[in-house]
Amino acid sequence: MRSDGSQPAPLGLKIAAACGLLFLHLPILLIFVYAFTTEEKSFVWPPPGLTTQWFAVTWNRPDVWEALSLSVRVAAISTAIALVLGTLCAAAVSRTKFFGREAISLLVILPIALPGIITGIALRSAFSLADIPFSFWTIVLGHATFCVVVVYNNAVARFRRTSGSMIEASMDLGADGFQTFRHVVLPNIATALLAGGMLAFALSFDEVIVTTFTAGQQQTVPIWMLEELIRPRQRPVTNVVAMVVVLVTLLPILFAYYLTRDGDQIAGSGK
Amino acid sequence: MTSAALNSTPAILPGSGGMRGALSDLFWRRPQLLLLLMLLPPVLWLGIVYIGSLFALLAQSFFSIDEFSGLINRQFTLKTYGDLLQAANLDIILRTVTMAALVTLASAVVAFPIAYYAARYARGRWKALFYLGVMLPLWSSYLVKIYAWKLILAKEGILTWLLAKLHLLWLLDAWLSLPVVGGNSLSVSFTGTFIVFVYVWLPFMILPVQAALERVPGNLVEASSDLGASPGQTFRNVLFPLALPGIVAGSIFTFSLTLGDYIIPQIIGTSRLFIGQAVYSQQGTAGNIPLAAAFTVVPIVIMSFYLWGAKRMGAFDAL
């Protein structure tokens, strides 16, 4: 038995935990203030004045739009590929026991467990050995590879919580394999897939390390930002883009959390 | 439902027939075939794209570069690994490993109170808040986080302003005048690089430590104090040993991510290179892919030993 909440936390622990959380969040909030600053040349604090003109300037920048369009297309296609591969893999691993099952889960996790630079340079040297020129598809190839694990993790967790007796019941009632998949399996795993897909999208949208090795001359949003960080052209535009990126990645994460939040009970195992 | 409706549907439907029915029956009779078909696409993709690339990388590290023409000589040699042992390259490796170790230690110290509070005291709404409070920074954009720190650490930025308000600027100046960790401003010093590394990888440490602490029954801590241990003794002899697998699991991430990162030291830090930067510049501007490949083998080897040690400590159960 745990003595839940029987005694309050020591003050020192409270302060340390609060400081830690503030340390995690204050820097991101700072970005929101800088997006409105009137200062153009430096990062001076406090901002000398506040303005919304940089939103209009950013809106009219074609390079920002091109980068955004490329990022969204790459993320969409990588997510689609990752959804198919991740779900297939999760279904196979969670439903049955077979030789090499451990090896397959390791294979899926490896691209995210090894540092991104290794994945990046490995793909790069493979492209160079096989004489494949950089294109839209070389970026997708890299992104889909490390997005599989996110979908896989979400799907495996849901498959474990879905009782196998539901599938047997469906078969007993005369549904064939495809009907069972369409009417029983899919509704059960749909929210997990949606959550996994959103996280995969956020992961791909934000990825920079692997992308620098597989993109050639093309610019996704993170590569555009990296370029601006190394050789700043118009700092306020970077501030605005940074703020938009924070908001764009925030929403799918909150939504994915909402979708997978109350999944502790096992579907189909109730009375 | 009327009895007529009940009678019209037989208890067991006939097979749906046609191609689809035949296929469905086939999968039912031979589950191995279905399993194979399900596994084939992901295994082919990961096997060819990822494992294939890793082997291409490994192969490259045994090639060498012709110093005059700059072309890659595709013949087996250990010369590239020999180049790795030059003093300048050994410096880079040592610097990176030291940084990774310090970042790991600092992350563990900062993460512990957050994880402990979230595991033992936070309930209901607060629990969700703590969870999101760790997940949101974990998932928000990596580059934006680095950019935020560039804003904070800049000479004219918020940190200098804050220290000036507190009349503590002398402390910052004294720190910056120290030899290795100092520099012109925090954003071009090792101290800056260190802070940003800790910030960016901290959530990766909090989650496994919290998972480990969730499994420590609260009455163990109470028993310890009932038996007369001070809070410090309880921490040293009860909590810390039980949290250790979680800390080791978290350190896998902080250590491995620091070893491979090349963007943080490039944007916030000195001009002295880390392994990631060396790899990047070798394959990019220098065009020496074999040496770049040999450099990436270093973190792979270090991480293999690290993972082997972590497995022996039971860290994988805490993941």
* Nearest of B290, B281, B250 to residue B263 by alpha carbon: B281
Interface test with B, best of A1, A22, A107, A125 (most B CBs within 10 A): A125
Nearest CB to A206; choose among B27, B31, B141: B141
Residue ranges per domain, chain B? 18-51, 87-318
B87-318: CATH homologous superfamily?
A: MetI-like (1.10.3720.10)
Yes or no: say if B150 and B267 are a contact pair by the CB < 8 Å rule: yes
CA closest to A176 among chain B residues: B24
Interchain contact, B114 vs A245, CB within 8 Å: no
CA closest to A241 among chain B residues: B144
Chain B residues in contact with A115 (beta carbon < 8 A) = 256-257, 259-261, 276, 299, 303
Yes or no: say if A209 and B263 are a contact pair by the CB < 8 Å rule: yes
Yes or no: say if B122 and B130 are a contact pair by the CB < 8 Å rule: yes
Residue environment code for A43-77, b if the CB has 16+ CB neighbours within 10 A, otherwise e: bbbeeeeeeeebeeebeebeebeebbebbbebbeb
CA closest to B258 among chain A residues: A115
- Mean pLDDT computed over B133-150: 88
What pLDDT shows up at residue B200? 93
Interchain contact, B53 vs A115, CB within 8 Å: no
Interchain contact, B144 vs A245, CB within 8 Å: yes
Chain B residues in contact with A14 (beta carbon < 8 A) = 117
Q: How far is B178 from chain A (nearest CA, A)?
A: 25
Model confidence pLDDT, tens digit, residues B73-89? 777 888 888 888 888 88
Mean pLDDT of each 10-residue bin along chain A, 271 residues long? 58 89 90 83 77 82 89 94 92 78 79 81 84 89 90 85 80 80 84 87 88 87 88 84 85 80 48 33
Question: Which tokens belong to A252?
Answer: 């799918």
What pLDDT shows up at residue B9? 56
Interchain contact, A43 vs B139, CB within 8 Å: no
What pLDDT shows up at residue B272? 86
B184: three-class secondary structure by DSSP = coil
Q: What is the Cα–Cα distance from B109 to B240, expressed in whole angstroms? A: 11
Q: What is the Cα–Cα distance from A24 to B213, expressed in whole angstroms? A: 20
Banded model confidence at residue B21, pLDDT cuts 50, 70, 90: confident
**What domains, with CATH codes, occur in chain A?**
61-260 (1.10.3720.10)
Chain B residues in contact with A182 (beta carbon < 8 A) = none
Q: Which amino acid is at B222?
A: E
With a pLDDT cut of 90, the percent of chain B lying above it is 14
Other CB atoms within a 10 A radius of the CB of residue A167 amount to 19
Residue corresponding to tokens 């509070």: B117
Other CB atoms within a 10 A radius of the CB of residue B260 amount to 26
Chain B residues in contact with A129 (beta carbon < 8 A) = 56, 59-60
How many CA atoms are closer than 13 Å to the CA of A62, on its beta-carbon side?
0
What pLDDT shows up at residue A12? 86
* Nearest of A248, A267, A161, A27 to residue B195 by alpha carbon: A27
What DSSP character marks residue B47? I
* Nearest of A27, A125, A41 to residue B296 by alpha carbon: A125
| Among B8-12, B157-161, B182-186, B244-248, the least confident range | B8-12
Of A96 and B235, the structure prediction assigns the larger pLDDT to B235
pLDDT at position B123 over 90: no
Residue environment code for B274-299, b if the CB has 16+ CB neighbours within 10 A, otherwise e: bbbbbbbebbeeeebbbbbbbbbbbb
Question: Which tokens belong to B319?
Answer: 């993941």
CB pairs under 8 A between A and B: 269
Chain B residues in contact with A171 (beta carbon < 8 A) = 28
What pLDDT shows up at residue A5? 47
Model confidence pLDDT, tens digit, residues B170-226? 888 888 888 878 778 888 889 999 999 999 999 989 988 988 888 888 888 888 888
Model confidence pLDDT, tens digit, residues B251-261? 888 888 898 88
CA closest to A18 among chain B residues: B114
CA closest to B12 among chain A residues: A174
Interchain contact, A3 vs B139, CB within 8 Å: no
What DSSP character marks residue B185? S
Q: How far is A51 from chain B (nearest CA, A)?
A: 18
- Contacts of A105-110 spanning 24+ positions with Cβ under 8 A: A107/B43, A107/B46, A107/B47, A107/B50, A107/B51, A108/A148, A108/A149, A108/A152, A108/B42, A108/B46, A109/A149, A110/B46, A110/B50
Q: How far is A63 from chain B (nearest CA, A)?
A: 18
Q: How many angstroms separate the first and last alpha carbons of chain A?
A: 27
Banded model confidence at residue B52, pLDDT cuts 50, 70, 90: confident
Q: Where are the beta strands (DSSP E) in chain A?
A: none
pLDDT at position B7 over 60: no
pLDDT at position B110 over 70: yes
Average pLDDT over chain B, rounded to an integer:
83
C-alpha distance from residue A208 to each of A203, B138, B226 (Å) = 10, 15, 52
Model confidence pLDDT, tens digit, residues A172-214? 887 887 888 888 888 888 888 888 888 888 889 888 888 988 8
Interchain contact, B123 vs A20, CB within 8 Å: no
Write down the ipTM of this complex. Answer: 0.80
Nearest CB to B42; choose among A44, A88, A130: A88
Report which secondary-structure segment, H or E, holds B17. none
